[in-house]
Amino acid sequence: MYDFSFQITYDPSADEYVDLFIDRESLRSEAIYSCLDPGELWTLESVTGDPDDLTAVDELLLDESVDRESISSRECSATRTTSLLTDEHRRRVAYTYVSDVDFCEAVPLIVAKYVDGGVLFEQTRTGDTVRWRVLLQDDSKVGHLYDTLSAKLGDGLSFSFEHLTEVDNWESGLLPRADIRAEQREILTVAVERGYFETPREVTLDELAEELNIPRSTVSYRLRRATAELAKRFSNRQL
């Protein structure tokens, strides 16, 4: 298998969805795409950030008329269905199915035109940059994909090749082992962001409980469970 990685950088106002990530530094998006043919694709996208910033994302994330796929100046002509799977204080997970594609110059659909099945895509958005990792069975079409993707970019977008690497495995942060429950993960994320694990601590359990609007005892219990599960996972990986 081969990992073909590249970045697309967006100028301000080039894409309304990316503009949210440019304007709001706390936002980060991780997505997995699957495309079996040029006529359809599905996406699982996880967006994390400060609560106010996530509220700003919600409208575009769930609006089925918003084109978040195209990399050209021409919008996709397709049917888009979106479902919100996770709605947490600092995280949203949305599933989007794009079907009946008449025209759409999206990375997965472009690749599907030149590469037969067995392709997986991972995308990360931060600031003005969208990073793509494409898992391919072989590298015979990578040169052609490089030229095609570069040529399809709309105004205000620029392409930057990162690497082409042969790999034996391909881990994704979006599909971790389900060792940590959603409510534990949320509290752990806030605790890390607010400096609970710093020395000295920058936030107390009482302050975390007040921010999350849940009892202090619940915060303490969920943090203990989350850190215990992470410790077990780390220990198992060392064996």
Domain residue spans of the chain: 2-166, 182-238
HSE-CB for 150 with a 13 A CA cutoff:
10
Contact 196, 203 (CB under 8 A): yes
**Which two tokens mark 190?**
């806030």
- Give the separation between CA 54 and CA 57, rounded to whole angstroms: 5
C-alpha 228 chain-centroid distance: 26
Alpha-carbon distance values, 1 to 35, 58, 168, 194 (Å):
17, 36, 7, 39
Strands (E), 143-193: 157-166
pLDDT at 238: 41
Q: What mean pLDDT do residues 209-224 have?
A: 90
In the DSSP assignment, the letter for residue 200 is: S
Mean pLDDT computed over every residue of the chain: 87
pLDDT at 179: 60
The better pLDDT of the pair 130, 177 is held by 130
Of the chain, the percentage scoring pLDDT greater than 70 comes to 90
pLDDT at 237: 45
pLDDT at 40: 87
**Which two tokens mark 44?**
């699982």
71-75, 80-84, 134-138: segment of lowest average pLDDT? 134-138
Query: How does residue 210 score in pLDDT terms, banded at 50, 70 and 90?
Result: very high
Contact 115, 71 (CB under 8 A): no
The better pLDDT of the pair 15, 231 is held by 15
pLDDT at 177 over 60: no
pLDDT at 30 over 80: yes
Q: What mean pLDDT do residues 89-100 have?
A: 91
pLDDT at 16: 94
Judge residue 231's burial from the number of C-beta atoms within 10 Å of its C-beta, 0-12 exposed, 13-18 middle, 19 or more buried.
exposed
Q: What mean pLDDT do residues 64-92 have?
A: 91
Terminus-to-terminus CA distance in the chain, angstroms?
A: 26
